[in-house]
Amino acid sequence: MIIIMRKKILIMLSVLGIACRLYAHEGMWIPAVLDVVYDDMKGLGLKLTKDDLFSINHSSLKDAIVLFGGGCTAEVVSDQGLIFTNHHCGFDFIQFHSSLEHDYLTHGFWAMSREEELICEGLKATFIVSMEDVTERMFGGIAEGMSGEEASRIRESNKRQIEAEASKKSGGEGVVRAFDYGNQFFLIVTRTYSDVRLVGAPPGAIGKFGGDTDNWVWPRHTGDFSVFRIYANENNEPAAVAAANRPYTPGFSLEISLDGAHEGDYAMVYGFPGRTEHYLSSYAVDYIVQKSNPMRISMRETSLGIIDRRMKEDDKVRIQYAAKQSDISNAYKKWIGQSMGLSRFDAAGKKRVAESDFEQKISSLKENNYGDILPSLETIYKNSESVNIAREGFIEYVFYGPEIFSFAHQLVDLIVNYEMISSSGKLKDKISEIKKNARLFYKDFDLSTEKELFVSMTPLYRQYVDHSMGPDVFNRYLYKGKTDLWENTAELIYAKSFFSDSSYYFQMLDRLQPKSFAKIEKDPVYNISKNLFDVYYIKIKPEASAFNFQLEALMSRYVKAIREMDTSVNYWSDANSTLRISFGKVEGSAPRDGMDYTYYTTSDGILQKSEEDVYDYKIPDDLRSLFERRVFGAYGENGQLRVAFTSSNHTTGGNSGSPALNGKGQLIGINFDRTWESTMSDVFYHPDICRNIMVDVRYVLWVIDVYAHAGYLLDEMKLVRYSSEKAESK
């Protein structure tokens, strides 16, 4: 009977295109409300109670989980505030501290004492204090029949009140977050520490081994980790960076297992997944696969072609553009994998089947209030296509293409709002902020690379984006009025602009007064920047937001309707950068015909891949020698040093750096990626195909201890080994 039920539900869910707990591995679960999946977790091997995982009354695993820098996760591994995250999550800061003299990107960095730890200005570490379902309070005062605008005004005011109360009561920061397109709301109280210092990073040949070639790919051999430390004031509270701060004492620090991860073991990832969209309609999937991804992929392919070459040609550019290159290439390759996966599994087609099933179901309702949803979604996607392309094209061009226009816009902003800023007494601060940003900008700016980006990306931007939505600004500056002489146009624009040269720029800032505005306003970069952003703010953004407002309202009703149609399913809420647990098993995969991947890789694979002349696969001699001599210390297993492994945990961007934990909640790895075939999982999860990739924590410890001789850091950690029934502390 149970089996028949299970089968029936599985069939129905696969038709709906939505998976549930019966697939066991799909989903990113809210740790504060785990009831619906806790038995499944236990069934797979979890040994902890719900309270061990998440409690607001006593210390629990959640107190070791850190939102790192806004977009990644980290975990506390010592009672002195030491945290692990990915190398690629700490990359901006490793790059920031690097120069030709101190090339930490290439050689790595290890603070051999607290004094040597490097301050990372702007880096924040956030802990979750509590999470509480406030859906009922958020809907308080909203009556049936109210207009969407009115309801949203009331919700906004409820939100403000709940947040204010929470922040006052807790001393932390209270924020109400919407889940499932506003069908559910949680109040999340956080505490954020802003003195976070770099403690260690392996050389690029470990932390970025395989580079872009291996990114999103299994088999993988990247030691993708870095080490930071959180500092607090003498009361263990958040404090601005100060010499007097001391290492933060956490509510909980993870034990680190030396036992490793083995096939079939329970594994969970605890962190802050960024964004998934598993309820998207077929129209949205079509838009992604046919329009959005092709444009974004081709724009990034173009910029990467230039940046990659320039980084190879010039060592200074290699350091200057390292972090930008990583940012661009990471999403670029992900989108290619995503499009391939969505097409291969005909995600849009499956959604269409689910949608007709949905229509059939609602048509049999006594009172069908949902009949307009799918037709309206179709219309919205059709009508918003060109503005959405304009919005995405603007972002790709201005933030991932030539950099000068977004940089120039702070000055545009200052000049346009000069009177207001100066009469509010904020002028001096504003100018010093602009100068500070300019110092950071010019440190990593190479004019030749910039011009090449302009020459190649501007015509692409003009090709994809409707001319009324931005690109026409360039017509004024075209060399001889021609649209095929972009190199000459670039020479004209950049040679005439004071933004191209840092000394002119600073001089101009020093002498800035209203009288000089007329001259500045003639600058071509100033003008293009102003125009691009004006069109964006006046036209593109409002139009796109209006569509988005309608879309969110429809999706909210769609999700509600799907859930009402079948209440036997444990639905999960799309990721939204809030704390989640994904669970599954350590397992390999057979993603394509003829492929059958083991679930782990070893240092032997690094030796096999290594190639002296290939940048992504070049390793230093001392590393090679340790591998060849098999100096694995306490971290080997059966004569091998395991490097990475895969599990069936549903993860996404933002889970980078998340702890991979065994059934006892001990650290077994650091999550850093998914296989290429899994990149579709933000929209469409396939339990047989989708696998996340983690670096084996024993490899992390080996690099710190044996390779980098920073073993003193391990003295702070709790290393446990149960396989030999003895706990050891180094």
Distance of alpha carbon 92 from alpha carbon 98, whole angstroms: 10
Token output for 579: 């704390």
- Strand 118-119 and strand 195-201: pairing? antiparallel
Is residue 351 exposed (0-12), middle (13-18) or buried (19+ Cβ within 10 Å)? buried
CA distance 516 to 512: 6
Q: Is 209 exposed, middle or buried (0-12, 13-18, 19+ CB in 10 A)?
A: buried
SS3 state of residue 720: strand
Question: Which is closer to ligand ASP, CB of 531 or CB of 655?
Answer: 655
Answer yes or no: are the C-beta atoms of 498 and 533 closer than 8 Å: no
What is the rounded end-to-end Cα distance, in angstroms, of the chain? 53
Q: Which is nearer to ligand ASP, 258 or 694 (CB)?
A: 694
> Smaller CB distance to ligand ASP: residue 71 or 141?
71
In whole angstroms, the minimum distance from the beta carbon of 494 to ligand ASP comes to 33
Examine the residue annotation and report whether 224 is marked as an active-site residue of this protein: yes
Buried b (16+ CB within 10 A) or exposed e, 212-226: bebbbbbbbbbbbbb
Residue ranges in 249-292 assigned as alpha helix (H): 282-287
> x/- contact string, 593-632, with ligand ASP (CB under 6 A)?
----------------------------------------
In the bound state with ligand ASP, the residue whose beta carbon lies nearer, of 238 and 271, is 271
| Size, binding site for ligand ASP by CB under 6 A | 9
Q: How far is the CB of 215 from ligand ASP (least distance, A)?
A: 7
Cα distances (angstroms) measured from residue 457 to each of 306, 441, 693: 10, 20, 33
CB of 210 to ligand ASP, least distance (A): 13
Catalytic residue among 339, 656, 678, 681: 656
**What is the rounded CA–CA span in Å between residue 13 and residue 11?**
5
Residues 647-706 that bind ligand ASP (CB under 6 A): 651-653, 655-656, 672-674
> Least CB distance from residue 347 to ligand ASP, whole Å?
18
Q: How far is CA 532 from CA 32, 474, 538, in A?
A: 44, 10, 10
Question: Considering the complex, what minimum distance in angstroms separates the CB of residue 21 from ligand ASP?
Answer: 22
Count of all residues that appear for the chain in the document? 730
Rounded to a whole number of angstroms, the minimum distance from the CB of residue 222 to ligand ASP is 10
Query: Closer CB to ligand ASP, residue 646 or residue 651?
Result: 651
Of 129, 235, 225, nearest to 673 (Cα)?
Answer: 225
Q: Which C-beta is closer to ligand ASP: that of 250 or that of 273?
A: 273
- On the 0-12 / 13-18 / 19+ scale of CB atoms within 10 A, 136 is exposed
By CB under 6 A, residue 222 contacts ligand ASP = no
Catalytic site residue from 25, 87, 88, 409: 88
Q: How far apart are the C-alpha atoms of 588 and 600, rounded to whole Å?
A: 8
Minimal distance, residue 575 CB to ligand ASP, in Å: 10
Collapsed DSSP state (helix, strand, coil) of residue 311: helix
Choosing from 92, 195, 212, 224, which is the catalytic residue? 224
Structure tokens at 329: 């290439």
Provide, rounded to whole angstroms, the least separation between the CB of residue 334 and ligand ASP: 7
Residue 71 CB, shortest distance to ligand ASP, in Å, is 8
Active site (annotated) includes residue 696: no
Q: Is omega for the bond preceding 687 within 30 degrees of 0, making it cis?
A: no
What is the Cβ-side half-sphere exposure of residue 567, based on CA atoms within 13 angstroms? Answer: 1
Minimum Å gap between C-beta 95 and ligand ASP is 16
Judged by beta carbon, residue 95 or residue 330, the one nearer ligand ASP is 330
Q: What angle do CA 472, 473, 477 make, to 5 degrees?
A: 110
Residue of 60, 158, 330, 527 interacting with ligand ASP (CB under 6 A): 330
* Contacting range for ligand ASP; rule: CB under 6 A; set: 376-384, 538-546, 555-563, 645-653: 645-653
Indicate the residue type of 56: I
Q: Which of residues 74-113 bind ligand ASP (CB under 6 A)?
A: none
> Least distance in Å: CB of 598 to ligand ASP?
20
Question: Cα separation of 611 and 108, whole Å?
Answer: 20
Angle between helices 447-464 and 486-496 (to 10 degrees): 130
CB of 458 or CB of 651, closer to ligand ASP = 651
Nearer to ligand ASP, 65 or 469 (CB): 65
Q: Whose Cβ is closer to ligand ASP: residue 449's or residue 692's? A: 692
Tokens of 159: 């939100």
C-beta closer to ligand ASP: residue 82 or 690: 690
Contact indicator for 704, 681 with CB cutoff of 8 Å: no
Does 88 participate in catalysis according to the annotation? yes
Greatest distance between any 2 Cα atoms in the chain: 84
- The residues annotated as belonging to the active site are 88, 224, 656
| Site residues, ligand ASP (CB under 6 A) | 330, 651-653, 655-656, 672-674
